[in-house]
Amino acid sequence: MHWRFSGFCPKTDQKLVLQKQFMMPKRPRMENLRGPIANGPIQTRPLVALLDGRDCSIEMPILKDVATVAFCDAQSTSEIHEKVLNEAVGALMWHTIILTKEDLEKFKTLRIIVRIGSGVDNIDVKAAGELGIAVCNVPGYGVEEVADTTLCLILNLYRRTYWLANMVREGKKFTGPEQVREAATGCARIRGDTLGIVGLGRIGSAVALRAKAFGFTVIFYDPYLPDGIEKSLGLTRVYTLQDLLFQSDCVSLHCTLNEHNHHLINEYTIKQMRPGAFLVNTARGGLVDDDALAAALKQGRIRAAALDVHENEPYNVFQGQSANQ
């Protein structure tokens, strides 16, 4: 900041100006940020890559006039073309490819990664920041669809729709009430049961509202939410995972995966669940220890489980310790 004076000089009769001026601060040096994206009438269009999968139907109408889009359909960076590694400034990705620090270092000009979905657990976000690569997600992606799927799985566990349909498909005939009763063994009443939701984000909230309509008493555990959210949704909040597991007839997982909650459901926490409870996971496979779950199912500690995700995908039921259980 400096001053500029205003007035008249008594000797020269020239006007002087007094004015307060602010000097703009210099921008901090950001040596870790990469150079500007070349774009415009003279430069070539920037290269944007869809790393895994080929569904870019929503993004293409937006990108086609401003960028060149490369479809990689890769499972790892070793399958990505050298041109993409050297020239791509933007990347779109689903969930089937993992980007570690070593993978990110292979991209020479990458400026931004957009995860088509809410979770970014398949990206080393810290390493990306150190390399000057921004990481974005789409928080509202698939909220209603995942919530619908979750309720479908819960209803299947309670009413055994899948098992009954298989009996009909296999040609089993029901000739009397005893056979019907035997086939329906394991069906449970929904109304009055307690559904425990771990993680009350967008999807968790959508599941909670649907479950209330079916007659569930809904409780939730989420240490990151401020107090009062339970009043606005008409839910009951518990403040420890142990309390939720102890009170729930069915536990549904809707939290993100990080280093703090890997194998959140394990041998120890399963023992804290109600005997005969249900477990549903439509979040991330790494939240559940598959071997501990398989043992609990075999022992009857957990009545049934519905898993939309597994820690190792694609999942092979004939591999690993769980195959023998």
**Together in a domain, 121 and 159:** no
What per-residue confidence (pLDDT) applies to 17? 47
Burial class from Cβ neighbours inside 10 Å (0-12, 13-18, 19+) for residue 204 reads buried
Structural domain span for residue 90 = 47-136
**Together in a domain, 122 and 232:** no
- Closest residue by Cα to residue 184 from 170, 195, 174: 174
* SS3 state of residue 271: coil
* Amino acid sitting at position 140: G
Cβ proximity of 78 and 55 under 8 Å? no
Question: What is the arithmetic mean of pLDDT over 284-291?
Answer: 96
Q: Lowest-confidence range among 31-35, 191-195, 256-260?
A: 31-35
Specify the CATH number for the domain of residue 92: 3.40.50.720
In a domain, 19, yes or no: no
User: Which one of 136, 157, 183 terminates a domain?
Assistant: 136
What per-residue confidence (pLDDT) applies to 110? 98
In a domain, 16, yes or no: no
In a domain, 65, yes or no: yes
The strand ranges marked E within 149-261 are: 194-198, 217-221, 236-237, 250-253
Counting residues of the chain whose pLDDT is more than 90, the rounded percentage is 67
- Model pLDDT for residues 250-259, shown as the tens digit of each residue: 999 999 999 8
Burial class from Cβ neighbours inside 10 Å (0-12, 13-18, 19+) for residue 318 reads exposed
**Together in a domain, 160 and 215:** yes
Residue 321 pLDDT exceeds 60: no
**Together in a domain, 97 and 58:** yes
Which carries the bigger pLDDT value, residue 91 or residue 27?
Answer: 91
In a domain, 314, yes or no: no
Residue 23 pLDDT exceeds 60: no
Specify the pairing of strand 2-8 against strand 217-221. unpaired
**Together in a domain, 153 and 297:** yes
What per-residue confidence (pLDDT) applies to 33? 47
Show the tokens assigned to 188. Answer: 């449970």
Give the confidence band of 13 by pLDDT, cuts at 50, 70, 90: low
Q: Which residues pair with 21 in a beta bridge?
A: 2
Question: What is the arithmetic mean of pLDDT over 35-43?
Answer: 50
Nearest-angstrom CA–CA distance, 309 and 279? 13
* SS3 state of residue 108: coil
The strand ranges marked E within 98-200 are: 112-115, 134-137, 194-198
Handedness of CA 107, 109, 112, 114 (dihedral sign): negative
What per-residue confidence (pLDDT) applies to 18? 46
Token pair 């394990």 is at which residue?
Answer: 266
Residue 325 pLDDT exceeds 90: no
**Together in a domain, 97 and 150:** no
Cβ proximity of 194 and 248 under 8 Å? yes
- Model pLDDT for residues 202-241, shown as the tens digit of each residue: 999 999 999 999 999 999 999 999 999 999 999 999 999 9
Question: What is the arithmetic mean of pLDDT over 32-53?
Answer: 69
**Together in a domain, 52 and 192:** no
What per-residue confidence (pLDDT) applies to 315? 66
**Together in a domain, 90 and 147:** no
In a domain, 127, yes or no: yes
In a domain, 325, yes or no: no
How many domains are contained in the chain? 2
Handedness of CA 57, 63, 68, 70 (dihedral sign): negative
pTM: predicted TM-score of the whole model, two decimal places: 0.79
Question: What is the arithmetic mean of pLDDT over 283-287?
Answer: 96
In a domain, 3, yes or no: no
Residue 181 pLDDT exceeds 90: no
Nearest-angstrom CA–CA distance, 131 and 103? 12
In a domain, 293, yes or no: yes
Furthest CA-CA distance within the chain: 120
Token pair 């901090």 is at which residue?
Answer: 28
User: Which one of 136, 171, 194 terminates a domain?
Assistant: 136
**Together in a domain, 253 and 148:** yes
